[in-house]
Amino acid sequence: MTSFILKVIAAVSMLIDHSKYITPDLNNYITVFLGRISFPIFCFLLVEGYTHTKDFNKYVKRIFVMAIVSQVPFFLFRTLTSSYKVLNICFSLLIGLIAIRGIDKGKNLFIKIFVPTLCVICAQMLKSDYGAYGIILIISLFVFREKTLYNNISFVIINLFYYLRQLWLANLIKNANMIIAFGLIGVFTSLIFINLYNEKEGRKSKFLYWFYPVSLIFIVCMNYLIK
């Protein structure tokens, strides 16, 4: 499975996840399950992009531009949801990229620990999408990228902790148990796709870089049209 195929799977999953905000009828266990597949794949692709890029500065600039471009559509999209986030997912990926850069290029152990720790704290305080969890997942995927068994174990532990915490926080919400359970199944499904990656790039498509802000605008427009 090439990185292009993984990008398509993640993009479709993300669109399905966001579609549940068009109308309550689309907010069900299936959209939750399919929608949770996307984020871990995006984190994995970020790590792969970092390890294969020939120009780190250009890679950072590309993600930063996407973060800026996506911010207004993200704010508009968040008016449809009940969760409060400040920064869109591209900022989370950007912070994660800085974290793994610190681990990779840090001149001493202090820098290798301080930079990623600071990134985790910043993501949580700035309320970027997925917060500290997202950065920790990116760090884990980077640190264990060449050790499949450890990578899978770490992935399972991080996501179990995150979703069990979500379950604890949402224990008063009707059907929260099933919603979070289906979300966790979706996340573990993404791990299957990640393990099927064949380390090949596949087709190139600039459209996929713009899919995120365009899809957010599409969801917002559809919501208002249906209303």
Note whether 183 and 20 are within 8 A (CB). no
pLDDT digits (tens, 9 = 90+) for 151-190: 999 999 999 998 887 776 666 555 667 777 888 899 999 9
Cα angle 210, 88, 132; round to 5? 130
What average pLDDT does the chain have?
90
pLDDT digits (tens, 9 = 90+) for 53-73: 999 999 999 999 999 999 999
- Residue 28 — very low, low, confident or very high, per pLDDT cuts 50/70/90? confident
- How far apart CA 190 and CA 37 sit, in angstroms, is 5
Helix (H, G, I), strand (E, B) or coil at 173: coil
Q: Check whether 97 has a pLDDT greater than 70.
A: yes
- How far apart CA 4 and CA 69 sit, in angstroms, is 22
Please report how many Cα atoms fall inside a 13 Å half-sphere around the Cα of residue 4, on the Cβ side: 8
Percent of the chain's residues with pLDDT above 90:
70
List the one residue out of 85, 89, 93 whose CA is nearest residue 44. Answer: 93
State which residues form the domain around 47.
3-226
Number of folded domains that form the chain:
1
Please report how many Cα atoms fall inside a 13 Å half-sphere around the Cα of residue 30, on the Cβ side: 5
